[in-house]
Chains A and B, each alone.
Chain A
Amino acid sequence: MSSWWRENRWWLPALPLAVAAMATASSYLLHDYWWIKEPRHEISSAAQGHYVTVTDDYSDYLGTLTHTFQVRLAGVVEVDKVVLDSFELDGPQPTPEGLQSLRVHLDWRADPDQILRGCEVALVDSEGRRYEQVDRHASDACVPPGRGGPEPAAVEGDVREVPDGEDRPPTWSTNPQFLVPQGVEITQVLVWWELPDYVRLDVS
């Protein structure tokens, strides 16, 4: 061994560690700008017709909280009409040409004290394309309308509590609606509260 190699025998193995530390320090924005922007971390999954028990962490103004629930995909069915915007008074409209309107039937079970408002539901087709609800003002996709149970604390001064008369039953169903192009094959339903964690329900 030459004197140079002997002299640097400790620094050479430290070099890849230094490079790794540099790369880590330079990638601190990956979390905020990439990791939490998409559903990337599957926390539970189930086949259609089967309940899956989910325990998931998410955060509100007061900090991190955990909720536990069961969800089952009862089915995905095509319907004739679609509500494009719940704020409009026109009611359901005929499905636009070239598209199909799908209604997802989800069955839920949870203790009434579990906070379940504010979820997102999306469909994924066989090509990996993701579809979200087109109705920007649709009611919450994971709790019954008007009986959503406890609310998270959104801003300073809020408390986690059930608004008057909005106690949630122990079991319920929701039916979020989607528009997708005709001919696509929906293979998955994704449910999430705080990305990147999501629940996958397979369509059969």
Chain B
Amino acid sequence: MIGARVFGALAVVATVAAAQLVTARVPVVDLGGGGPFVRSGELGEPVHLSYADVEVTDVRPAQYLGPPDSTALARLAGGVWVVVSVRLSATTKPVSIPNAWLVDPEGREYLTSTRSSCATNLRVSTGVPTYAVFCFDVPPDRLEGMHFRIARGAFETDQTNNDDLADVDLGVSAKDAETWPATTKAYRSVDYALEPLELTEITLTETGS
């Protein structure tokens, strides 16, 4: 009887140890709880998430973004500014959207630029459309096939898992990818508003050094 119990206890310990070995050493085991539930869409098409509706209404390139203060220096893109206009509204209760990001066909991800004065950390109201503009500084050779992504979990800390995430094909074609890096457009930076935002093209003036 005692022998059987000792054997049973050792069997439990051995099973736990083997499971620990598998989860620690075998890379295919994902204990992170799975990835996000990706809801796909296209430019001009609403994407319905469990907590919000998202629609990318416009995307355009720029060489410069002017800060809200018209006397401040404009920001020159390191690559190309990709300016994405989005309409959001929460479904059943207000929701915080900490950030948005772009992902290229190779899976490289680009967060909104802190050099712009565009949207970040949005609080989206229930049933009330929020019009936001997100600005990304993207390498010129990574534009084609770019997707826009947004979720309520923080992207940087993997808090988008097991939750809805909107993935919108921005429709950047091979031809766009050739012409966008040569743009000389400059727009006034905006973050968000409760009425549709129109991007304002601005003319830059040189200042003394």
Contact = CB atoms under 8 A, between A and B. Distances in A.
B94 A179 contact: no
Contact of B194 (A128, A130, A179, A184): A179
A184 B89 CA distance: 15
A131 interface: yes
Contact of B125 (A38, A128, A134, A184): A134
Interface residues of B, number: 12
A98 B131 CA distance: 14
B94 A132 contact: yes
7 tightest Cβ-Cβ pairs between the two chains A and B: A181-B127, A130-B93, A132-B94, A131-B126, A129-B92, A179-B128, A129-B126
Interface of B: 91-94, 123, 125-129, 194-195
29 contacts: A38-B93, A84-B194, A96-B194, A96-B195, A98-B129, A99-B128, A129-B92, A129-B93, A129-B126, A129-B127, A130-B92, A130-B93, A130-B94, A130-B126, A131-B94, A131-B125, A131-B127, A131-B128, A132-B94, A132-B125, A132-B126, A134-B125, A134-B128, A134-B194, A136-B123, A179-B128, A180-B126, A181-B128, A184-B127
Interface string A127-166: 0111110101000000000000000000000000000000
Contacts of A184: 127
Given A130-B92, A130-B94, 4 more contacts: A99-B128, A128-B92, A180-B127, A181-B128
B interface, over-half SS: loop
In this complex, the interface size class of chain A, counting residues with CB under 8 Å from chain B, is: 10 to 19
Contacts of A181: 127-128
Nearest to B123: A136
Contacts of B94: 130-132
Contacts of A84: 194
B125 A179 contact: yes
B24 to A, nearest CB: 20
A99 B195 CA distance: 11
Contacts of B127: 129, 131, 180-181, 184
Nearest to A181: B127
A46 to B, nearest CB: 23
Nearest to A180: B127
Interface in A100-147: 128-132, 134, 136
